[in-house]
Structure 1
Amino acid sequence: MSYSWFDKKETFLIEGKFEATFKSPINYDNAEFKLYLQFADEKQTELTIPFSLKKPIAKTKTYELNEEMSFEEQHIIVKSVSISPLRTGITIALDPNNEMRILGFDDIRLLDEKGEMSIFFESWVINL
C-alpha cells in the first residue's frame, strides 16, 4: 500500500486507517498475533505490533434456507446465509428462466429475531 499527503507545515503525526484482507483463512487457534509493517522509506523503517485476542472468535453459523423469492417477476433462490462476527454471506441461485439479467443485489434485507434489520441491499435488473 502507499500513502501520501500534502501539508503546508511540517508534521510528525499522520493518522489514517489501515485495512488488511487475507487471501486464505486466518488460524485463530493461537490468540497471539503480530502485525509487521515495513515502510519503503530511505531507512526501510520496520514496525512490529503485537496484539492478542481477548475472546475466542465465534464460529460461523450457516442457515440452509432454500427459499424462493421474486421481484419484478424475476425469481431467485436464497440457498443459505452464513453469519460470522466479521461478515455475512448469502448464497443465491438465479432462475435460468428469468427474462431479465440481474446485475447486482442491493436490496436484500436480513432481519433478526426481533424484526430489526441487520443488513440492507438494493437490487437492480436490466432487460435482455
Structure 2
Amino acid sequence: MTARRRPEDDFQRKVLDLCKLLHLHTAHFRPAMTAAGRWITPVGGDGKGWPDLTIVGPGGILFRELKSATGARSPQQRQWAEWLTEAGQDVAVWKPRDLDSGRIAAELDAIRRPAARLLPAVPGA
C-alpha cells in the first residue's frame, strides 16, 4: 500500500525547515496509515491528541497544531490544548495563512533568544 500524503504535509515541511533555519529544536511524532486507510500515531498514556509540533528555543517553548486551511482540531487535540494552557504553556493552531502573513516567523523569532530576565532591585540605587 502506498501511503497517501496528508493535506498538512507540505505546510509542516515548510514550518520544520524554518525552525531548522532559526536553530530551534523540534519534535514531531509521525502518523502512519493503517491497512484500513486510517491515519494513526501510536502513543501511550494520554498521548492521543498531542500537538503536531513541540518547538524549543532559548526563549521558550511552543506547542503548535498544524491544520490545513479548512482543518479543525479533534476533541483530543482541544483537550491537550486546554491542559497545556492551564499549565502556562504557549499553545495555538497554525494554518498556511499564518506562514504567509508572517505570524509563524514572528512567533518563532520570539523564542530564538533567551527570555529577558528581570534583574533584582539593587538596594540603595
The bucket for the TM-score relative to the shorter chain is under 0.3
Indicate the structure with greater strand content: 1
TM-score scaled by length of structure 1: 0.25
Indicate the structure with greater helix content: 2
Larger-gyration structure (1/2): 1
TM-score scaled by length of structure 2: 0.25
